Amino acid sequence: MRALLPYLALYKRHKWMLLLGVLLAIVTLLASIGLLTLSGWFLSASAVVGVAGLYSFNYMLPAAGVRGAAITRTAGRYFERLVSHEATFRVLEHLRVATFSKLLPLSPAGLARFRQGELLNRVVADVDTLDHLYLRVISPLIGALVVILVVMVGLSVLDVSLALMLGGIMLATLLILPPLFYRAGKPTGESLTAMRGQYRQQLTSWLQGQAELTIFGASQRYREQLENTELNWHDAQRRQSDLSAISQALMLLISGVAVIVMLWFASGDVGGNTQPGALIALFVFCALAAFEALAPVTGAFQHLGQVIASATRITQITDCPPDVTFPQSSMSVPEHVAVQFKDLAFSYPGQPQRALENIALSIAAGEHVAILGRTGCGKSTLLQLLTRAWDPQQGEIRLNDMMLSDVDEATLRSLISMVPQRVHLFSATLRDNLLLAAPQASDETLSAMLTRVGLEKLLDDGGLNAWLGEGGRQLSGGELRRLAIARALLHDAPLVLLDEPTEGLDAETESQVLELLREEMKDKTLLMVTHRLRGLAFFDRIIVMDNGQIIEQGNHAALMAKQGRYYQFKQRL
């Protein structure tokens, strides 16, 4: 239960709406009980008085009560659903924001231990499961408790002993069955949560690795593993369905016993009246209707194990301490940035071999530097250390003679514009994808920037309102790279980091992108990671890396004259 406490705290933001939802649920239940109770008594009383009492019996008042209870139940049910679901969605909204805000400081170091499919399942499916906490547990439990008290007080006006008897049966049911079915359903709920995550993770891996699995002949074996997980998941769902059926059957049995008990005792005496007549129907139908408030409680508590398991899985991520922490004090953003690496060494967690070793490098403000080398030589790692995705185990990084670890996060993000190797395109408008880099930019600025990077054609179809991403326009590789460069230019930072900006582009598009970079970023400090050799002659310096070390550096002419590793790369073209 302790795992739910941090998430219950989020309910305080919407406590009045949540309380209103509970109140409407109680009103709806009481209206439903009143409708059946009053209808049963009205019909029985009408039959008892017969034709002889046609003029002495007040038909109008009970009829109005029945009509009022019916209208109240219908309206209460509608507004209760409306308010409760609105409140739940708002709680989930803040829960997602709170969860994501705790994940951001963990990326990428703290999240590296989780697979993408597993992480996605925890952030999406497990968070969605927490909506059961209010709709299926808190609201029904409070509603049932209040209804029991109201029914006891209401019936005690007619007969205290019968009211206490019915209230005692209902209260005992409320206190015994939910914990019982929570214990019975907890293992199944935990299994359902775990197997749901396992299945989605395996499914994601299977879909992403189709080519490799087919090439190595492992597709069928992986498919069988996926089907076994699915069968186990279905088996757990079947066990939970069986448990739900048992809880419902037991609730029907208890409600039937309660009705029989009320019928037995009410037929002999109601409030000292040995001829209760229609009052017998009142107590019987009240008992029958009152158990409607208890119907969802047992089923809700058997899902509580699944809710707690989901909360635990989310907490396992959000409670992880970040590997990288930033100072709180802010500072001004300089116009130009120089970068120094001194005796830098770094290795990824769990990896015995160092990704970087003894890196010593000084880059002047405004200098354009290309970092070249084979895949896995440490080029991208160097850029990640600059953005503080990781911290080095040895050495130091300085920006303008200031330790990188002393720069607060807001200032560091303002200092750096980065074009990653994988450009992320969100399923949103063209405007939204550009405003990520410059939230305050006007439409005129965004349109002018698209023209500068050669993407003015994107404005022909819907302008900045054109939809991109899934279900919208799919950009080509060249368009995607140019969009990323447009973001970097809109951010207008003095230090620009490019990770394989021409990867996957044809020769003509690559030349256009490099020319664009050279023109638009001539006053900025530029570091470009690449393993392609086109256009490197225009860079101020070329750094060649191998096995995490710098093996040579200089401009194009100097490296060609040296006839070292860079010269060998050029000869292979």
* Integer Cα distance of 238 and 241 in angstroms: 5
pLDDT at position 480 over 80: yes
Band (368; pLDDT cuts 50, 70, 90): very high
* Integer Cα distance of 251 and 298 in angstroms: 8
| Tens-place pLDDT, residues 255-290 | 999 999 988 888 877 877 777 778 888 888 898 888
* Integer Cα distance of 24 and 77 in angstroms: 7
| DSSP designation for 99 | H
* Integer Cα distance of 386 and 364 in angstroms: 15
pLDDT at position 561 over 80: yes
Q: In sequence order, which residues have a C-beta less than 8 Å from that of residue 420 and are 6 or more positions away? A: 484, 499
Mean pLDDT of 108-124: 74
Domain at 2-318: CATH architecture: Up-down Bundle (1.20)
Mean pLDDT of 95-124: 77
Note the Cα 329 to chain centre separation in Å.
30
* Integer Cα distance of 256 and 295 in angstroms: 13
pLDDT at position 451 over 90: no
Q: What is the pLDDT of residue 409?
A: 87
Domain boundaries, the chain: 2-318, 339-425+475-571
Instruction: Dump strand ranges (E) for 122-244.
Output: none
Instruction: Dump strand ranges (E) for 384-502.
Output: 394-399, 402-403, 416-419, 495-499
Mean pLDDT of 302-310: 78
Q: Measure the N-to-C terminal CA separation of the chain; round to a whole number of Å.
A: 64
- What six digits make up the tokens of 390? 């990781």
pLDDT at position 418 over 80: yes
* Integer Cα distance of 121 and 198 in angstroms: 9
* Phi and psi angles of residue 417, each rounded to the nearest 5 degrees, phi first: -115, 130
Mean pLDDT of 554-567: 86
- What six digits make up the tokens of 572? 């292979």
What DSSP letter does each residue of 210-225 carry, written as one string?
HHHHHHTT-HHHHHHH
Kindly list the distances between the CA atom of residue 333 and the CA atoms of 323, 438, 496, 561, 566, in Å, as whole numbers in the listed order. Answer: 25, 16, 14, 40, 36
What DSSP letter does each residue of 263-315 carry, written as one string?
HHHHTT-BTTBS--TTHHHHHHHHHHHHTTTTHHHHHHHHHHHHHHHHHHHHH
CATH of segment(s) 339-425+475-571 = 3.40.50.300
The answer to whether the bond into 501 is cis (omega within 30° of 0) is: no
| Tens-place pLDDT, residues 12-71 | 788 888 899 889 999 999 999 989 988 888 888 777 776 555 556 677 787 888 899 899
* Integer Cα distance of 338 and 332 in angstroms: 15
* Integer Cα distance of 291 and 277 in angstroms: 23
pLDDT above 90: percentage of residues in the chain: 13
* Integer Cα distance of 536 and 513 in angstroms: 13
Band (10; pLDDT cuts 50, 70, 90): confident
| C-alpha dihedral sign at 172, 177, 180, 182 | negative
| C-alpha dihedral sign at 334, 338, 341, 347 | positive
Angle value at C-alpha 408, between 420 and 434, nearest 5 degrees: 40
What is the widest separation between alpha-carbon atoms in the chain?
A: 122
CB of 367 within 8 A of CB of 541? yes
Average pLDDT over the chain reads: 84
| Tens-place pLDDT, residues 281-299 | 888 889 888 888 888 877 7
Q: What is the pLDDT of residue 377?
A: 85
Give SS3 for 114. coil
* Integer Cα distance of 392 and 340 in angstroms: 14
User: Length of the chain, please?
Assistant: 573
Mean pLDDT of 341-350: 87
CB of 346 within 8 A of CB of 392? yes
Q: List, in sequence order, every residue forming a beta bridge with 270; answer none if it has no partner.
A: 273
R_g of the chain, CA atoms, integer Å: 35
Mean pLDDT of 156-179: 89
Mean pLDDT of 370-395: 88
Band (137; pLDDT cuts 50, 70, 90): confident
- What six digits make up the tokens of 436? 């990520």
Rank 202-216, 272-286, 292-306, 547-561 by mean pLDDT and report only the highest. Answer: 547-561
* Integer Cα distance of 84 and 20 in angstroms: 8
Neighbours of 93 (CB within 10 A): 13
Give SS3 for 304. helix
Residue pointed to by tokens 């309206």 = 75
- What six digits make up the tokens of 519? 């023109």
Q: What is the pTM of this model?
A: 0.71
CB of 189 within 8 A of CB of 303? yes
Give SS3 for 76. helix
